[in-house]
Amino acid sequence: MNFFIIESTFVFAFKAMNQYVKYNSDYHVLICCQHGYGLAPVYIERHFRESHKTIPLETRRDIVSYSKTLDLWQPEQVNKSEPTFIPIQGLPIIHGFKCQYDGCGELRSTEISMGKHCREIHGWKGKEGPMWTRQDMQIIFQGPNHKYIAQSKKIDSRYFPVTVKEINSDVMTWLNISINARISEAEVQDKNHQKTLNEVRDSQSLVTKTPWLRRTRWEETFVGKDMATLVKLTNAPGIHDHQESSVWQATAGLIE
């Protein structure tokens, strides 16, 4: 019986984590689904602590614990891997271009950038026509770990080629990834800002305080409290709150 309870709990936790991270066994990398890039093993805990404050703390801890059970490679190991051309689930697909000059194979995200590459590296001239073809690609890491270098030395960029047979719901654009990440960050910032606004602060000096505040010293009494909670205390008691109703009515009579 206990075995089935433990197994069910594990499956539930795994499904909960699966909406936030995905493990790719080809490149031995853990992908953040929301941001759409891979996480270096030493950065996983910090990433979810700083960039995913809306995820329940218990779930974040489960993700970190789960990552420690995986065979994760360091970015240097991943960047030296030969491309499998199989799209990594959780990473956006970039519709870019591949250089066709012999022995090159450089990947660029825009045609303008590819033209510049061909002109500067290969002496390409526009009258020769395009010396590149369309190529879908992805990026695993961001920041200082973004470089991807194939052992064949034909690719020397942050991109690696993939072959997309069918476009499905797992294929996302950079715009979608960026928008979702920015929205989540904005929601966290707005929530934190609102919480700051609601917090009572005893920041005024005695000179600027009104005689009433100096007399009652309310700011000192309620400093650090959430005003939203304090405001609820002014609500009239419900019909079933008999003791509170008696106090409420007695107070009103005293004021009158």
pLDDT, residue 152, reads: 40
- pTM for this one? 0.55
Q: Kindly state whether residues 94 and 121 are assigned to the same domain.
A: yes
pLDDT in tens, 171-209: 455 556 556 666 766 676 677 666 665 665 655 555 556
Q: What is the CA radius of gyration of the chain?
A: 29
Asked which of 39, 56, 75 is the last residue of a domain, the reply is: 75
Domain-embedded: residue 246: yes
Q: Quickly list DSSP for 76-108.
A: HHHHTSPP-BPPPTTSPPEEEEEE-STT---EE
Q: Residues 219, 221, 225, CA angle at the centre, nearest 5°?
A: 80
Structure tokens at 150: 């194939």
Domain-embedded: residue 190: no
Question: In this structure, which long-range contacts are made by residues 41-50, counting pairs with CB atoms below 8 Å and at least 24 apart in sequence?
Answer: 41/67, 41/72, 41/73, 41/74, 48/20
Q: How many beta carbons lie within 10 A of that of residue 256, not counting itself?
A: 5
Q: Kindly state whether residues 89 and 68 are assigned to the same domain.
A: no
Q: Kindly state whether residues 232 and 169 are assigned to the same domain.
A: no
Q: Kindly state whether residues 114 and 167 are assigned to the same domain.
A: yes
What sign for the dihedral angle of Cα 40, 45, 49, 54? positive
Q: At what angle do helices 2-18 and 57-67 cross, to 10 degrees?
A: 100
| Domain count of the fold of the chain | 3
Q: Kindly state whether residues 50 and 68 are assigned to the same domain.
A: yes
Between CA 159 and CA 107 the distance in angstroms is 6
Average model confidence (pLDDT) for the chain? 76
Distance of CA 225 to the CA centre of its chain: 30
pLDDT at 117 over 80: yes
Taking a C-beta distance cutoff of 8 angstroms, is the pair 65, 16 a contact?
no
Q: Quickly list DSSP for 45-60.
A: HHHHHHH-TTS-HHHH
Taking a C-beta distance cutoff of 8 angstroms, is the pair 208, 61 a contact?
no
27 is in which domain, residue-wise?
Answer: 2-75
Helix (H, G, I), strand (E, B) or coil at 16: helix
Structure tokens at 210: 């009104």
Q: Kindly state whether residues 143 and 220 are assigned to the same domain.
A: no
pLDDT in tens, 36-79: 899 999 999 999 999 998 888 888 999 999 999 999 999 888 87
Taking a C-beta distance cutoff of 8 angstroms, is the pair 86, 166 a contact?
no
Q: Kindly state whether residues 67 and 91 are assigned to the same domain.
A: no
Asked which of 59, 75, 91 is the last residue of a domain, the reply is: 75
Highest mean pLDDT out of 131-145, 205-219, 227-241: 131-145
Q: Kindly state whether residues 220 and 157 are assigned to the same domain.
A: no
